[in-house]
């Protein structure tokens, strides 16, 4: 009888415990949800005024009669404002990735003109460090199925890292190659390189190589590159040598001919 009651009591206790854990889990879920909503809202709220601040600043900077010292100061504001905007955008992307809110819209796109456009927008930054960005490709007709906005973010992250982590005068190479059904895009720098112990971690969220933390950054860029590449069904790899430089390689599937994809699926079925 004693045992029976003991068992009954312990069952009851277990039920209470399970109930308590369940409640705690629900509470945590609620907190997580409101945290994400708050995070999302604040990022949005920051983005609008920042964009409105940078657009006129960009216009003012094109003014020819701007005194040298004023131009320098406005340049600095523009640079820091742009950095802040990038940070907010990265946080927003990450929050959307966490919530599964980021949908991918792939279309067949010629990749070379997109890369040329991005490189053009980077020229100013590269020039400040006396670097040149070269683009080589076998044909400007090479097409891949991409979400253009995501693709641009991938390339922008890799290029800004290549500039950031290279000493002045070290040029950067962007290469497009086609191997059968695969299109490879590489971003190669002759910069500081990454050590063997860091290389496996640089795609983790918030990871920054200690020695470089003074350069600034969030440690988010490469984790976003990796996740965006996975969403494209592609992958990103890196080879690097300390003091020699780094090569980041993106592998995409070549764009399918119109209708071929449906046929492929049908023939597999």
191 CA to centre of own chain:
20
Residue from 91, 142, 146, 192 touching ligand ADP (CB under 6 A): that is 192
Regarding 189 and contact with ligand ADP (CB under 6 A), the answer is: yes
Q: How far is the CB of 108 from ligand ADP (least distance, A)?
A: 28
Among 82, 218, 249, 256, binds ligand ADP (CB under 6 A): 218
Q: Which residues of 28-37 are buried (b: 16+ CB within 10 A; e: fewer)?
A: eeeeeeeeee
Q: Which is nearer to ligand ADP, 249 or 256 (CB)?
A: 249
- Give me 187's structure tokens: 């971003």
255 binding ligand ADP? (CB under 6 A): no
Task: Tell me if 62 sits within 8 A of 125, measured CB to CB.
Answer: no
Strand 133-136, strand 172-179: pairing:
parallel
| Binding window for ligand ADP (CB under 6 A); candidates: 46-54, 69-77, 102-110, 213-221 | 213-221
Residues 120-159 that bind ligand ADP (CB under 6 A): 157
Q: Which is nearer to ligand ADP, 93 or 145 (CB)?
A: 93
Dist. CA 177–CA 183, nearest whole Å: 6
- For residue 65 the two structure tokens come to 């009669």
CA distance 225 to 229: 6
CB-closest chain residue to ligand ADP: 217
Residues that bind ligand ADP (CB under 6 A): 157, 161-162, 165, 189, 191-194, 202, 207-209, 212, 217-223, 246
């Amino acid at each position: 009888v004693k045992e029976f009651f003991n068992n009954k009591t312990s069952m009851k206790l277990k039920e209470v415990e399970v109930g308590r854990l369940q409640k705690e889990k629900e509470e945590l879920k609620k907190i997580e949800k409101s945290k994400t909503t708050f995070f999302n809202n604040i990022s949005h709220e920051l983005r609008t005024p920042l964009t409105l601040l940078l657009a006129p600043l960009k216009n003012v900077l094109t003014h020819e009669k701007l005194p040298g010292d004023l131009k320098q100061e406005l340049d600095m504001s523009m640079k820091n404002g742009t950095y802040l905007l990038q940070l907010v955008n990265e946080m927003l992307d990450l929050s959307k990735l966490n919530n599964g809110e980021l949908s991918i819209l792939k279309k067949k796109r010629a990749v070379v003109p997109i890369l040329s456009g991005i490189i053009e927008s980077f020229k100013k930054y590269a020039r400040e460090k006396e670097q040149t960005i070269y683009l080589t490709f076998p044909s400007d007709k090479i097409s891949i199925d991409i979400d253009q906005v995501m693709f641009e973010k991938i390339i922008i992250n890799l290029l800004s890292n290549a500039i950031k982590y290279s000493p002045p005068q070290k040029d950067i190479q962007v290469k497009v190659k086609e191997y059968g059904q695969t299109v490879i895009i590489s971003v190669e720098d002759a910069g500081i390189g990454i050590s063997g112990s860091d290389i496996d971690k640089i795609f983790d969220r918030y990871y920054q190589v200690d020695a470089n933390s003074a350069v600034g950054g969030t440690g988010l860029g490469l984790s976003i590159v990796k996740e965006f590449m996975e969403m494209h069904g592609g992958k990103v790899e890196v080879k690097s040598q300390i003091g020699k430089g780094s090569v980041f390689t993106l592998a995409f599937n070549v764009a399918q001919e119109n209708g071929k994809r449906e046929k492929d699926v049908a023939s597999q079925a």
